[in-house]
Structure 1
Amino acid sequence: MDKSRCASKKDDDDDDDVVDDINWSDDETDDTKKISFPELEKAILTVLEKFEAVFPKLNWSSPKDARWMICDNRLRCTNLADIFSLLKSSDFITHDLHEPFKFCRVNDENVSDDKEIQYVLVLKKWYALQPSKEFRCFVKNNQIIAISQRDSDNFYDYILQTSNVIADNLKTFFEKNIKGKFLSINFVVDIYRQDDVNEPEFRFVGSQHGVKPNSFTQYSMPKDIADITRERDIDKLIDVIAMAKRFFENASHVVQYAAYRPTYSQALIEKIMNYLSLKYKGDYDIAIDIGCGSGQSTKLLSPYFQQVYGYDVSKNQIKQANEKNTNSNVKYRSENIISHDNNSLCLVTVAQAAHWFNLQQFYSEAHRTLKLMGVLAVYGYGFVELHGPQNKRLNEIVTNFYRKVRPFFPDDRIHIDNKYSSIILPYVERERDESVKINCTWDIQRLLGYICTWSGYQNYVKLHPNNDIINDLRSELFSTLNTTNESEKIELSFDTFILMGRKTSNDLY
C-alpha cells in the first residue's frame, strides 16, 4: 500500500491508523518487510477503472462501521487506499475474518466451525442510494416470511402510507429474480426498491415540521429597514455569508485562534497579486477579506491597496482584529453583508472560510461588487506536516489524534480535507495554485495550542469533559522526542491551495 496513505499501528490503544493526504519524508531507513498483493491490487484497479467508484463488501458484511475513514463519510471508494482503509478499520470485517460463525448454531453435524472459508471481496458500482428505499427480506423455505426497513434509525412517512404496495413489490421482485437461485432455501437478502420512472414525482409540505419559517419573521428584521439598507431581498441580506455555523464565537477560543493558527506567507499574497495584475490595469483602491477572523490574512493585503476591509460575523473575532490592528488603511467590521457598491472592488479574498458560506449567494455578491478584471481569490491550508528525525512517528501521532476528533468536526470540514477540490469558482478564467508552503518552527506548546483550536477538538471536549486526550497527545509527543520540555522546537509545514477567478464580464458564469 502507498506509504503516503498509510501509517503502521504502533500502540495497542490507537484507534485509527490510516492517514490520508499526508506526505511523509523517507529520511529514515525502514527495514519493515513490506507485504504486497499485486494480483489483488491489479484486480481492484481494473474494477475501479471500469466503475470509477465502488462499494466494498466481504462475504457477509460491508465495512459501514468505518465509513468515517473516508473523507465524505460514505462507502464511496475511488482508489486502493479507500478500500484498504475501510477493510482494515472495520470491526465488522474483523469479525467476518476471525469469528464469522460466533453465536451461530450449526444444525448440520457435518459442518465444522473450523472449515476453511473462501473469502470474496465484492466491489459493486457506486450509486448514491437513499436509505429509505432499502429493505431486508427474511426468507425461509424459499418464501419471504418477514420484511424490515434497513435504516431502522429513522421514520419515513411514505413507508407507513404505502407499506402494502411496497411489500407486494418486494415479493414480486423476489419471485421473479431471486427465488430458487441460491443453494440455500433459508437466507436473508437486501433489496433496493427504485422509483417507478413512469410515475410523476409530486412533492408537497406534508406536515407542520416541513414548514420553512418566513425570513422576515425569523430574523425579526422589518422589511422597510431591509429595503433601505439594501435594495435586495431579505434572504440575501441574511444568508449571503452563511457563517452562523462557525465555531469561533467564544472569546477564549478567539484568543487561541489568533495566537496559535499559522500565518500565511507574503508569497501566497504575491501569487494572488500577480494574477490580478495580469489583466487588471485600474487603481488598486479597495480590497475586502470575507470571513477574516482575527485578521491574520487581511493585514497581508495592506501594502497593495489604498483601503482594505475585513468582514466577519463573529464580534469577538473582529474585536480581536481591531485590538491588534496596526495598519491605518485596514478596517474590520462585524457584518454579514458586503456593503459595497457595484463594480467597486479590485479583489475579494476568502481565507479558510469559503466552506462555511452559501456559495451561490456569496458568488453573486462578489461578482456584483468586483470591477471588470477584478479577482476573486479563495484559499486555505491543509493538514500539518511535521519534519525532523522522528517525523514519521510524529505525523502518525498527530494524524491519529485527528482521526479521533474528526467525527466531531462539522460536515463542511470535508472541503478542507479535499483542499477545496470540489469548490468551483464561477468564472471561465480561473486558476488553481498549490506551489506555496507555510513553513514554521514551533515549540510543542504552540503545536498543542494549534490543535486545541480545532473545532472538532472543541466539540469533542464538550461531549467528553473527563477525557483528557490533549494530555495523552502531549505525552506521546514527549515520549517520541525524548523530552518533557514544551519549549522543544519542531519544524513543520502546511500545504496551501489557492483558487483564483477573474471577472471578465458583467454576466455571472
Structure 2
Amino acid sequence: MAHRLFEGKEHAACYWKYRICPSDDLIKYVIDFVGKQKGGPLELAVDVGCGSGQGTVQLAKYFDSVVGTDISPAQLHVALEHAKEPNITYRQCMAEELPFADGSVDLITAMSAFHWFDRPRFLQEVHRVLKPHGCLALLNYTIQMELSYPGCCLQSLNQVCKELYATLDPYRSPHLGANSIELYREAYTCIPYTNKEWNDCVWVKRPMPLSSYIGLIESFSNYQAMLRDDPQKAMRLSQDVCQRLMSVMKVTSAETEVMVGVRYFYILAENDLS
C-alpha cells in the first residue's frame, strides 16, 4: 500500500517554504531525454506526488499541459495558492490510480515521492498511461547534505550535520529501509524498458539562509515523526543544531547564508515496449 504522510496544513505550508526541487540543469536533462525519445511536440506531463507544486512548476515551460497529482488536499491547496502558469492544473488522486487514459502521457515524474508509493502498482500504472516512447523520471535526494561557509572548517561544520542526521535516523520510516537509494536501484532493475538510465550521485549546490536549511530538515518525515513523538525534543534539536552551526561559522544570525550541497539520484526510462 502507499504511505500517506505530509498531509497536515502546517506541514504543507512548510513544504512550500523550505522544500527544494531539482536544479534547472537536472530538469533540462530530463526534458532532453524525453525529447530524444519522443520527437515532435511535448503535450502532457504528469507530476505524481507533487506536494506543494515546486517541481510541477518547473515543467510548465516545456509542455502544452502539466498536471500535478497528490493524495493530500492540504498540499494541493498550497499548490493552487501559488499557481500562476495557465497550463498547470492539479488533481487529487492516488499515485497508483492515475486519472488519465491509456497511452496519453508524454512524461511522468515523481520528485522525492516514489519511495512512498506502492511501487509495483505505480510502475504498472506508469506503463498504462505512457505514450509509446513516453518517459518516466524518478528523482530524489539524500538527507545527508553537506554545508560550506567561507573561512569555516568544513569538517567541523559537517560533523554537526552528521550528528543531526544520526539523531533523526531512528525515526526513519521502516517502509524506506536503511537507504532510499537502494529502493530506487531496485526499481531500476525492475523497470522492463530497455532504454533507461540510473545515476546515484549528482551534486547540486544551493545557497540558502541557515534558517532555511533547518526548515528543510524539519520538513522531512523523520523529523516530523520525532515532532509527533516528542515535540519538545524536536524543537530543542532544531535550536541546538542551529546554535552549534552558528558557533562553528562564528556568526550571530540564523539568516546568514550557507552553501548546501545536495546529492541527487535519478532514474530515466523510455516506454520502448509499446
Alignment of 1:36-435 (within 5 A): 242=2, 245-336=3-94, 337-382=97-142, 383-388=144-149, 389-413=152-176, 414-416=178-180, 418=182, 420-424=184-188, 425-434=191-200
Aligned to 1:444: 210
Deviation sequence 1:210-244 (CA, Å, 0-9, x none): xxxxxxxxxxxxxxxxxxxxxxxxxxxxx6xx2xx
Judge conservation of contact 2:76–2:92 (CA < 8 Å) in 1. yes
Gaps of 5+ in 2: none
Query: What is the RMSD of the two structures over their aligned residues, measured on CA atoms?
Result: 1.7
CA distance in 2, matches of 1:299, 1:488: 28
How has the CA–CA distance of structure 1 residues 330 and 415 changed in structure 2, closer, same or farther, with 3 Å as cutoff? farther
CA distance in 2, matches of 1:283, 1:441: 35
CA distance in 1, matches of 2:232, 2:59: 43
Percentage of identical aligned residues = 28
Amino acid at match of 2:173: P
More deviation, 488-497/302-311: 488-497
Aligned to 2:223: 457
Deviation sequence 1:279-325 (CA, Å, 0-9, x none): 21243111101000011111111111111000000110000001101
- For these two proteins, the number of residue pairs brought into alignment is 264
CA distance in 2, matches of 1:466, 1:343: 50
Amino acid at match of 1:406: D
Amino acid at match of 2:271: K
Amino acid at match of 1:444: L
How has the CA–CA distance of structure 1 residues 265 and 304 changed in structure 2, closer, same or farther, with 3 Å as cutoff? same
- Is 1:483 matched up with 2:251? yes
Judge conservation of contact 1:419–1:497 (CA < 8 Å) in 2. no
The structure with the greater share of residues assigned to helix is 2
Amino acid at match of 2:133: M
Deviation sequence 1:375-420 (CA, Å, 0-9, x none): 1111111231112322211211112111111111212334435482
SS in structure 1 of the partner of residue 103 of structure 2: coil
Give TM-score scaled by structure 2 length: 0.90
Aligned to 1:497: 265
Give TM-score scaled by structure 1 length: 0.50
